[in-house]
Structure 1
């Protein structure tokens, strides 16, 4: 047993095991300052905070004048002297249907990075407010002048009706908000790894007093596991280093892994091959079709411990650089699903159509080619699931409920299509004599509204006292994809559970 397998065995040994539920899957082809990090090179002259409480936007009174700073456990810090680090190992999150609605955000199933509004171990607990020296009842208006960075930024609080967005870098997102609170905590979210520079202004209005416009300041956030550093001359080191980014702390079966190869320094070459090998294997296997700096794939339970690496080539197919392997961690928290057939869909770059193929041994579902609808506002395709069998031999005959969901589709180069775009109409194909089985309700594609199959949807159910036996369930599938869908072969995993 290798180290990865041993780690997984020990971790899973303590998990709760359900005795009355069976789970299966159908594959579809879709520092606090006391612990301040030591900045190297690029941030050597700054305080780098990677965990603990920080009031990022903080108005204080200095020499009888209001000033905008950041406030840490050790006191005030000028924004120019501070870097707030979000480490992907603890900050990585999967975009939910709710979070996908943030301005400029990734589609459902993608990966983003979060400094949460609730205190969590190993993360920055960030907020805003003002010091006791500021008069009670003072209002502060914060304006976001600009954001420089590799992705989108948003600032929001969780609410019953969804995110209450204060600021967002994307076009059309809010760029200003006003607060009289002396202390608030919020979510700080970023869509990509890298450095973000937020230019912020504050206007302070004391009760009954005149508004003071404070000069703009720049806050720096760095999303990444290791701090950037200036290249150190080393005659024995390769001229270009290749690093794989985007690996989540762990994945669920049916989720999407979206990896990116990063060149340091850039070479201008874009000819890649990606390689994988399962835990315990000695030989690497090349990934067909993954020829760019991005590699996306649907995660299966068997991918736990799988290693992935990228290799960069020049125009003569000579190796320029090879990344260190990254290791995929699959953890369904004790409810490990059995993986089933896959669904594949392909949009031809030349013809602009999407086709869905069938794998051998009926392991895939063919929805046909995606074609533009008469209104030319979306691609559509349809097909049917192969029979899904539910067998119940429990003596107490409590009945059962079979449900399914699709997290997301992805292409080999990382293009994604949310699972909400897939809908179904379940059917009962057969049932034992003593069974009473009812098909689940129709779930429409979420192209215009709703979540489609991105959330758990009932496939079929049997009433208590009438569930023993074997039933076969099916479903007519309907896919509606945006008209600007990128060409590629999309794969996803439909997860099924029977309880």
Structure 2
């Protein structure tokens, strides 16, 4: 669930960026603009009873922390829609990460390779605890084959949580305006032995334009 008003989120995001610039961390970020990438790579550390959320790059096989990456949703991702679709895309230009792999575009999915889903009752939840977006911008994650919206940054569309029940899945991701988006997720679940468990909140950055 979202825990911050959008104005507070934007102010916090600006402060975080300034801090990163002064620390030099922002300069070390890896840019991802194409290829197979699991944005949400889920894992569970049963020694610490803690969920973990990372990114998997299939081109290199690397598992990286989201803070070390910036997703470049460049002009090749532009799709023009004649009319709006409620809780999915706006009329006009949108930026789309497709559900099917396409050359030169980010093919964004998620996986649960690092945990045993049956031990969590078959599902864990990625909660969108905060976000920032350019003016008028929203993010939608939906399954075109089932016409199901899995996540939307507008509270009128969605409660801000993805129920992850697939071992590996690629939905469609849509950004409605150019600019920088930050999405902060936290995993929650109930382990059959360890009980309720969580991850630390982690923030993803998408540069759209």
Q: Would you call these one fold, judging by a TM-score over 0.5?
A: yes
Post-superposition CA distance 1:325-351 (Å, at most 9, x none): xxxxxxxxxxxxxxxxxxxxxxxxxxx
Query: Aligned to 1:50, which of 29, 33, 48?
Result: 33
Q: 1:42 to 1:104 in 2, by over 3 A?
A: farther
- Check the 8 A contact 1:203/1:211 in 2, yes or no: yes
3-state DSSP of counterpart to 2:131:
strand
* Aligned counterpart, 2:3: none
Contact in 2 for aligned 1:102/1:154 (Cα 8 Å)? no
Corresponding residue number in structure 1 for 2:86:
102
Q: Distance in 1 between matches of 2:88 and 2:105?
A: 24
Match of 1:135 among 116, 120, 144: 116
Distance 2:152 2:191 in 1: 26
Residue 65 (structure 2) pairs with residue 83 (structure 1): no
> Does the CA contact (< 8 Å) of 1:115 and 1:125 recur in 2?
yes
Question: Equivalents in 2 of 1:42, 1:94: separation in Å?
Answer: 35
Look up the match of 2:143. Answer: 157
Q: Distance in 2 between matches of 1:76 and 1:44?
A: 19
Structure-to-structure mapping, 1:255-334, within 5 angstroms:
none
**SS of match in other structure, 1:106:** coil
Shift of 1:183: 0.8
> How large is the Cα RMSD of the aligned pairs?
2.2
- Does the 8 A contact of 1:112 with 1:190 survive in 2? yes
Deviations, residues 252-277 of structure 1 (Å, cap 9, x unaligned) = xxxxxxxxxxxxxxxxxxxxxxxxxx
Corresponding pairs, count: 176
TM-score, scaled to structure 1: 0.33
How far apart, in 1, do the equivalents of 2:104 and 2:62 lie?
20
Residues 436-493 of structure 1 show CA distances to partners (whole Å, capped at 9, x for unaligned) of xxxxxxxxxxxxxxxxxxxxxxxxxxxxxxxxxxxxxxxxxxxxxxxxxxxxxxxxxx
- Can you give the 5+ residue segments of structure 2 that lack an aligned partner in the other structure? 1-23
Aligned counterpart in structure 2 of residue 111 of structure 1, from 93, 106, 112: 93
Greater Rg by CA: 1
1:225-268, Cα deviation, whole Å (9 max, x unpaired): xxxxxxxxxxxxxxxxxxxxxxxxxxxxxxxxxxxxxxxxxxxx
Report the structure, 1 or 2, having the larger helix content.
Answer: 2
Cα separation, 1, equivalents of 2:46 and 2:64: 16
Equivalent of residue 210 in structure 1, options 171, 195, 206: 195
Match of 2:130 in 1: 146
Who is 1:426 aligned against? none
Q: Deviations over 1:393-443 (max 9, x none)?
A: xxxxxxxxxxxxxxxxxxxxxxxxxxxxxxxxxxxxxxxxxxxxxxxxxxx
Deviates more, 1:110-119 or 1:59-68: 59-68
Residue by residue over 1:122-172, the C-alpha shift from the partner in whole angstroms, topping out at 9 and shown as x without a partner, is: 0111001212x4114232111112221111111111025xx3111111231
Q: Structure 1, unaligned stretches of length 5 or more?
A: 1-40, 225-499
Runs in 1 of length 4+ with deviation above 6 angstroms? none
What TM-score do you get using the length of structure 2 for normalisation? 0.76
Q: Secondary structure at the match of 2:157?
A: coil
Tell me: higher relative CO, structure 1 or 2? Use CA pairs within 8 A at least 6 residues apart. Answer: 2
